Amino acid sequence: MTSASDLAALAALLADETRAAICLALLDGRAWTAGELAAYAGVAPSTATGHLHRLVDGGLLVQRRQGRHRYVQLADPSVAQLLEDLSARIEPRPAPPRGLRAATVNAALRRGRTCYDHLAGQLGVAVTDAMTARELLDQSAGFALTPAGLAWLTDLLGWDPAQPRPGRRPLVRGCLDWTERRQHLGGLAGAKLCETFLGNGWVVRIGSGRAVRLTTSGQAALRDTLGISLD
């Protein structure tokens, strides 16, 4: 049973702005080096290293070595779910004056991004809504794929959702979108769908962040497979 001190210790990990910035950066699902995260958070490499040690020791991040380099990433999808759920509970505040570049980055994140390993933003919500409207996804009592949805994913992805799955990750799960304040599709099916979109070139990453852009072939795929039109 979780104790009050355990919960307070977990909350303390995210109670620092630098550590929070590091965790939000890692929501792109990729592994980053300490140097990259230091530059992103605007702190010295030694400072970033100290924060990373705390996050790894606290179970939010994992560290992997490849050659001479060490990489860190979120420990598992449940950490990404926790971060998105917390972000969605923050009441929007009036945006402070900022430059054109910052406004452009924010707009791109709202249009489409990855939430760890599945699609989020307006793109992710639109795909989820279209699957629900076509009775591929049932949201009447949580999130569940219908028989038609299972067949659709099998045909689209070449992957059988009914096959045994490693670990305890659910097949589908609703994830509250922190920009749209609505649910988008998470879980293993959401991850496989995102993997297919990226692998087929239907979406491409914008720079080195979480934002993604729907390509011309992606627009055609959405029209053909889900009957939706997005720019």
DSSP-assigned states of every residue in the chain: ---HHHHHHHHHHTSSHHHHHHHHHGGGS--EEHHHHHHHHTS-HHHHHHHHHHHHHTTSEEEEEETTEEEEEESSHHHHHHHHHHHHTSPP-PPPP--HHHHHHHHHHHH-EEETTEEEHHHHHHHHHHHHHTTSEE-TTS-EE-HHHHHHHHHHHS--TTS--SSS--S-EEEE-TTTSSEEEEHHHHHHHHHHHHHTTSEEE-TTSSBEEE-HHHHHHHHHHH-----
User: Do 154 and 199 belong together in one domain?
Assistant: yes
The answer to whether residue 34 is domain-embedded is: yes
pLDDT in tens, 57-89: 999 999 988 777 788 999 988 898 888 888 877
User: Do 104 and 208 belong together in one domain?
Assistant: yes
User: Do 116 and 201 belong together in one domain?
Assistant: yes
pTM, entire model? 0.68
pLDDT for 86: 87
Domain count within the chain: 2
Structural domain harbouring 167: 98-226
User: Do 197 and 110 belong together in one domain?
Assistant: yes
The answer to whether residue 70 is domain-embedded is: yes
User: Do 31 and 113 belong together in one domain?
Assistant: no
Q: What is the mean pLDDT of the chain?
A: 86
The answer to whether residue 59 is domain-embedded is: yes
User: Do 53 and 143 belong together in one domain?
Assistant: no
